[in-house]
Amino acid sequence: MALAINVKTIGAAWLASIERVLDDGDAHFDEDVAILELRQGLAITITNPSVVDPVIDCWGDRAVVARMLKKFSRNSKMADRPFTYGELIYDKNGVDQFAWIIDRIREKPETKSATVSLLSEGDSSKNLPCLVSLDAKLRGGGLDLHFFFRSQNIFGRQYANLTALADLQARMAEELACQVGVISGYVSSPHIYNYDIDNAKNVVSGVVFDNVDKFYSHGPESIRIGY
Cβ of 125: how many Cβ atoms within 10 Å?
11
Higher pLDDT, 107 or 123: 107
DSSP 162: H
Domains by residue range for the chain, with CATH: 3-66+95-205 (3.30.572.10)
Q: What is the pLDDT of residue 222?
A: 87
pLDDT given at position 227: 56
- pLDDT score of 201 more than 80: yes
Tell me the pLDDT band of 225, cut-offs 50, 70 and 90: confident
Identify residue 162 by its one-letter amino acid code: L
- The bridge status of strand 42-46 relative to strand 26-30 is unpaired
Q: Mean of the pLDDT values across residues 134-141?
A: 97
End-to-end CA distance of the chain: 36
Q: What confidence score (pLDDT) does residue 80 get?
A: 81
Asked whether the predicted pLDDT for residue 173 surpasses 70, the reply is: yes
